[in-house]
Amino acid sequence: MKIVLPGGTGQVGGILNRALTAAGHEVVVLTRRPTRGGELRWDGSALGPWSETINGSDVVINLAGRSVSCRYTEENLRAMMDSRVDSARVVGEAIAAARRPPRVWLQMSTATIYAHRFDAPNDEATGTIGGGEPDVPRYWDFSVEIAKNWEREQQRARTPHTRKVALRSAMVMSPDRGGVFDYLLWLARLGLGGPVAGGAQYVSWIHDHDFVRAATFLIDRDDITGPVNLAAPAPLPQRAFMSALRTAWGVPVGLPATKWMAEIGAFALRSDTELLLKSRRVVPGRLLEAGFAFDHAEWPQAADELVRRVRQERGRS
């Protein structure tokens, strides 16, 4: 297949590009700064010569969006919103204009669309969309708004010959440097991987191999449209999540952090505490219903496997 990855230069794009290329597919990445073969320039907001590569492609997986790991200043929040909405809109326009449109358009979304909650898991049918939860900072609503607008942009695109799926993905765990697993492992190795603000908040996650397998499954399954949760079936409280990670690496202790310590840490790391404190309890209702089987369903085993790969890959470098 010919697979186009707008925004495919980042963490998730790297994971998909490697796996899809290894499986024998032709992968074209759309980026604002092409530096290597297989990359084409676009600006993420307007049609241009790049649109021609959509014509005759089989699959588009749009990953573009300003990183959410940043301070939530007004300017950054605006860029987080616009980069997602604009890129989804222009990908839709390119598909609509194609003489031979792709069969399927997978649009990245996020598990953050669901409410901050502890009581029950969110699947696609019964889950609660976030916004307005009591006891959380009001600015958290903005991340949910981003996700809703992002998905709405895909829904409203007029692409009658192209199946549309929104990937409500949890954090994708891979051994790559700079990815979220790398960051959490770094904290654990420093002895800082303890519970944050009590650690009762749920962490949803998906192993990189399962992420690729789920994306491939959704490409193949012509009967599935709309939002799909990409998360392992066993989200767990942050306290247990970090404890399993410490065990996997062999770190004996993890210092607990209070909310204000997390705030200082997030400030120092130019990030935001929402990423640590929001309870994301998200489960893959539609994938399981459709018969998808996770290779890495439980976090302790997944963490072991990821640590093994980190050691292998870094041992070599």
What does the binding site for ligand NAP look like in residue numbers (CB under 6 A)?
7, 9-13, 31-33, 44, 63-68, 79, 83, 87, 108, 110, 169, 171-172, 180
How far apart are alpha carbons 114 and 232 in whole angstroms?
15
- Nearer to ligand NAP by C-beta: 9 or 57? 9
Q: Considering only CA atoms, which of 137, 148, 156, 161 is closest in space to residue 56?
A: 161
- Nearer to ligand NAP by C-beta: 83 or 159? 83
Beta bridge mates, 4:
28, 60
Write phi, then psi, for 151 (nearest 5 degrees). Answer: -70, -40
- Nearer to ligand NAP by C-beta: 66 or 296? 66
Cβ atoms of 41 and 35 within 8 Å: the answer is no
66: left (phi over 0), alpha (psi -120 to 50) or beta: beta
- Nearer to ligand NAP by C-beta: 71 or 259? 71
Considering the complex, what minimum distance in angstroms separates the CB of residue 160 from ligand NAP?
A: 26
- Nearer to ligand NAP by C-beta: 17 or 57? 17
Residue facing ligand NAP at closest CB distance: 10
Q: Coil, helix or strand for 227?
A: strand
How far apart are alpha carbons 73 and 95 in whole angstroms?
33
Cβ atoms of 85 and 148 within 8 Å: the answer is no
- Nearer to ligand NAP by C-beta: 203 or 307? 203
- Nearer to ligand NAP by C-beta: 33 or 99? 33
- Nearer to ligand NAP by C-beta: 66 or 286? 66
Contacts of 209 (CB under 8 A, 6+ apart): 295, 296
- Nearer to ligand NAP by C-beta: 154 or 169? 169
Considering the complex, what minimum distance in angstroms separates the CB of residue 108 from ligand NAP?
A: 4
How far apart are alpha carbons 151 and 124 in whole angstroms?
14
Considering the complex, what minimum distance in angstroms separates the CB of residue 10 from ligand NAP?
A: 2
Considering the complex, what minimum distance in angstroms separates the CB of residue 211 from ligand NAP?
A: 8
Considering the complex, what minimum distance in angstroms separates the CB of residue 171 from ligand NAP?
A: 4
Burial of residue 74 (number of CB atoms within 10 Å: 0-12, 13-18, 19+):
exposed
Number of H helices, E strands in the chain: 10, 11
Considering the complex, what minimum distance in angstroms separates the CB of residue 14 from ligand NAP?
A: 7
Considering the complex, what minimum distance in angstroms separates the CB of residue 252 from ligand NAP?
A: 28
Contacts of 32 (CB under 8 A, 6+ apart): 41, 42, 43, 44
Considering the complex, what minimum distance in angstroms separates the CB of residue 134 from ligand NAP?
A: 25
Considering the complex, what minimum distance in angstroms separates the CB of residue 45 from ligand NAP?
A: 7
Residue position matching structure tokens 């700064």: 33
**How far, CA to CA in Å, does 168 sit from each of 22, 110, 215, 228?**
25, 4, 11, 6
